[in-house]
Chain A
């Protein structure tokens, strides 16, 4: 398992919760219950160690600690409640199978986060959704490019984005665009991390994110026009 890092965001969003949980699950080094008997484990680390040893109640406790974040991650990535629940289930089943292999190279919640993202990506690939166009040239193709903006000044979004309108617009994005947007702008992953996850180039990740934002801009401007500018 490669070393992972925290998402970059700070504040009230999901990443802030990530850091909090990560700190709580941090102390493992390797086989913590054996290698450092003199240092008492925190309750969460002890629960993790017990779950790794096969304690079902401890695993249930881990589920209750992490279910919101994993379910929400799945929901953001697929935009569908039923699918998100199925994927959350699959993520925790995979966790159950693999938890003994966790060695604390990263915080447990970071490890679980990455495992869950992989579950979603595998699901999307099985569905045949083209996550990334690997052959896409870096030069943008204007025939499919959303939101070119060469004309006179028009409706500006600055200071006027309605969160629910943006959430609706994100949900309506094509799956590949939504995935990149959620991973980068919502979850806080860097382009090189996304490229690694999706097996594409960094340039491709940048390009897809840009197109996703352009599509969102188009959708929000349409929404503003319909509702009148506030």
Chain B
């Protein structure tokens, strides 16, 4: 977090957001968020919602039944 983080513009804040989020910083309590009149808080909140929702995505699925036959055949041919 930079010294002048309280006075930074939305553009400056959002340009640092990838690094802030990736470093595990407490972005919701970032000085810019506290005083932002635009939608930086909502942007951050949306991104966190997406990241949380991702954990429930793509339940495991079964491959086709004949996949093992293909693998077995390739092994017998010497590909495995």
Interface residues on A, range: 35 or more
Contact with B along A86-115 (1 / 0, CB 8 A): 001100110011000000000000000000
Task: Decide if B2 is an interface residue (CB 8 Å cutoff).
Answer: no
Given contact pairs A156-B46, A159-B49, A210-B18, A13 touches B71 in the complex (Cβ within 8 A)? no
* Contact across chains for B50 and A166 when beta carbons are under 8 A apart: yes
Q: Please, which residue of chain A has its CB at the minimum distance from the CB of B15?
A: A140
Picked from B15, B39, B55, B64, the residue with its CB within 8 Å of the CB of A149 is B39
Closest to B46 in A: A157
Which residues of the other chain, B, contact A214 by a CB distance below 8 angstroms?
A: 47
A71 B22 Cβ-Cβ under 8 A: no
Nearest-CB residue, chain B, relative to A171: B58
Q: Does the CB pair B42–A149 fall under 8 Å? A: yes
For B14, B54, B68, B70, the residue with the greatest tally of chain A CB atoms inside 10 Å of its CB is: B54
- Residue B67 lies at the interface, judged by CB distance under 8 Å to chain A: yes
Interface residues of A (CB under 8 A from B): 9, 11-14, 17, 56, 60, 63-64, 67-69, 71-72, 75-76, 84-85, 88-89, 92-93, 96-97, 138-140, 147-154, 156-159, 161, 163, 166-167, 170, 181, 185-186, 188, 191, 202-203, 205-207, 209-211, 213-214, 216-217, 220
- Asked whether, in the complex, the Cβ of B55 is within 8 Å of the Cβ of A72, the reply is no
CB distance from A229 to the nearest CB of B (A): 14
Kindly provide the distance from the CB of B18 to the nearest chain A CB, expressed in whole angstroms.
Answer: 3
Assuming the contacts A140-B15, A161-B53, asked whether A156 and B45 have C-beta atoms less than 8 A apart, the reply is: yes
Expressed in whole angstroms, the Cα–Cα distance for A59 and B52 within the complex equals 36
Interface check B51, CB cutoff 8 A: yes
Given A72-B60, A149-B14: A60 and B68 interface contact (C-beta under 8 Å): yes
Residues of B that sit less than 8 Å from A by CB: 10-11, 14-15, 17-19, 21-23, 38-40, 42-43, 45-47, 49-51, 53-64, 67-68, 70-72, 74-75, 79-80
Assess A206 versus B60: contact at CB under 8 Å? Given A89-B70, A93-B75. no
Q: Are B55 and A63 in contact (CB under 8 A)?
A: no
With A181-B54, A217-B50 known as contacts, the answer to whether A191 contacts B22 (CB < 8 A) is yes
| Inter-chain contact B63/A67, CB cutoff 8 Å | yes
Taking a contact as CB atoms under 8 Å apart, the answer to whether A216 and B50 are in contact is yes
Chain A residues whose CB sits within 8 angstroms of the CB of B53 once the complex forms? 161, 163, 166
A149 to B60, CA, bound (A): 34
Residues of B within 8 A of A60 (CB): 68, 72
List 14 A-B pairs, Cβ < 8 Å.
A60-B68, A67-B63, A68-B60, A71-B61, A71-B63, A93-B75, A140-B18, A154-B42, A185-B51, A185-B55, A202-B22, A210-B18, A214-B47, A217-B50
